[in-house]
Structure 1
Amino acid sequence: MPRRNWAGNVRYAARRYHRPSSLDELRRLVAGSDRIRAVGTGHSFNRFGDTTGDLVSLAGLPAAVTLDPDRRTVTVPAAMRYGDLAAWLHARGYALANLASLPHISVGGAVATGTHGSGETVGNLASAVAGLELVTADGDLLAVDRARDGDTFAGMVVGLGALGVVTRITLDVVPAFDLCQSVRLGLPREALDAAFAGAYSVSVFTDWRGPRLREVWVKQRAEDAPPPADWLGTTPADGPRHPVPGMPAENCTPQLGVPGPWHERLPHFRLGFTPSSGAELQSEYHVPRAAAAEALAALDPVAHRIAPVLQVCELRAVAADGLWLSPNHGRDSLAIHFTWIADAAAVLPVVAAVEERLASYAPRPHWGKVFGIEPARLAAAWPRYADFGALLRRFDPAGTFRTELLDRYFPR
């Protein structure tokens, strides 16, 4: 098992590491532990998933995947990577409505933190969850369902690993579809909304070094007409691109408008290759989509501080949902994602400056990335924040799944 997260900036403090091979073994482990957390692929940049007790990988549990064509759902192990699930689904004629930029992440970890892709009519990955199976603090196995458990279920999906060890997840599926991906250069900032509306999934990249947004990655359904050569004042890229300057384009999914399966176009990165740059820190903030232009303008005065410690900034649209701790709860959002250099001493003061500039837009951070917003400000940004704290105390009164960071943001 890894002793550090994927980026290497967090060294886990766990005393013991476990990889159970059966559900019963996991249940006994949870029931006998005073502190335990599950770890997935380690693509988290903070200590929400860390513990001084037991750290458990679910990768050794049975890997059965169950498709229900009548309900249009698939039930999968929480430890399964999205890239592996996507290939399995596509072979059977089905798809997920959206994927994150990298297919390397586990389903359980992505759902628990509100991870997302892009698409103004598509929700984040957690919004596709129809059911959860989890081992609670006393070792019991609990199944919850969207249709049956309603509001409580909405509080449990983006659960930060704080309510139990999620073992299996049921997701909505749709018929498989093809996409074309192309890269456009030099988008005027005032055309950002039009760009998001121009395709099924759109990601915009900038370096905060000039007035125009550097690249637009356009992922459109194969049956739709391609954008014209002068689309929104941009020009077509002359070859494949990588979002991070200087990184090899072969790490990325096919571009240049070549049609292909949804799971080979929605992610930016290919499963067998290093995603992003590998040596990095990440932060991300979700602000109301209606305030996108204002929020970006609010960052302009600190652009001179952002640019020197930035590898790339990605802007994405995410549709609203009803999940209590989702960054997109109750509002369509603009996600402002920063891939920083791997130097915490240089980056953290800039993160604080970004948060201060965005403060009036009630920014909601991605739960798995680097942020330092005060607990009171986060509590004000989520209408159901206090309700989640009550749910946490109800499901885990002894603090079995607690961490230092959870205690900071959700005091007992």
Structure 2
Amino acid sequence: MLQNSSDITSITNKPTKKHGGSAAEVFLVFLKLGVTSFGGPIAHLGYFRQEFVEKRRWLDDEHFVHLLALCQFLPGPASSQLGFSIGLLRAGWRGAIAAFVAFTMPSALILFALAMLSDQLVGPWGQGALHGLKLVAVAVVAQGVLGMARTLTPDRPRALIAAVAAGVIAVGNNAWLQLLIVIAGGLLGLVLCHGVTRPTQSSFDLRYGRRTGIALFALFSILLVTTLMPLQGFPPLVHVAGAFYQAGALVFGGGHVVLPLLKQTVVDTGWISNDTFLAGYGAAQAVPGPMFTLSAFLGDRLHGGDGGFLGATTSLISIFLPGLLLVAAALPFWRVVGGGPIAARVLAGVNAAVVGLLAAALYDPVWISAVLNAKDFAIALIAFVLLVAGRAPVLLVVTWCVVAATFAHVVG
């Protein structure tokens, strides 16, 4: 790993510092998140903020949102890219790989087992437990929105930007509109946030520079172009890798947004049946971790189950790889956003817009898909109080929501 002066780039203009952690530390933290982060990609942001901003203080709210904004600009799974970036900043390349493996592995392994048990998820006990996981997401996202709003919208201009962003996205929610709102937030910040003049500072740095970033982007591009070329005569797994790489490289928004493209990739081509695809989708909602691990389920079931472990592993790596290459390529260039007062105002607006996006996501899809009656509201409210006032561990909150929702669902 290069560590000379020409290949070390700070995320800000501060001098390069020694990284603050080890790959083992990163792995253990993300492993815990990998087995407790229920609720999908929006909820993951709340879990990450609680773990890395509030609890461990690996980064501050501004830096957290800057990384989040970058991941939202790029195609791929935003929460996995964010986790990969945090691991990279904390402990270098080993930390990045440790974060990805630890956060992804639990849900990928669970989906192997759920592939054979998916029919049992349709009963009242299974449905009650699934609904409880949705209520966990309500509490976690609400806590994240509250904390970020306090830090990132401390004045009227930024509160206004957040409110407008939330209102617009609530009316017309799609991935491209989210990107436009982030851009508009930056422009409004430039005009309205005159009181923000200090560039953002960060205590983290990268161990590589722009040359490495360019090389990573070149690798991403070469692989994408290769997958778009005819692949006749190659083994079936090469076609599988190419199809899943395209899905990861060409979808903006991540999570549920990738589902139509995956359906086109594996169902319309006849690789798996539509019933199997829907069963995998249901199973993916039942497990913690990134939604993209659905690819492991699909890869295992290719051609009626002939994909097996090799098919699952190929699909899993292929769909995540482009997003991780892109975020690693972009990070050395992202530091320029903190270079002066104009950029600071732009970022203040971007941060406020992201708060608005999360607030809108708290309503749709998190709230409207989970809080269906007064019982649901009571369960979610207690979970929220446990997190905010009681500072209860997430696992306790998950247990409360699942047990309470299952009881309410079964008893009626």
Q: Name the TM-score, length of structure 2 as normaliser.
A: 0.22
- Bigger share in strand: 1
- Bigger share in helix: 2
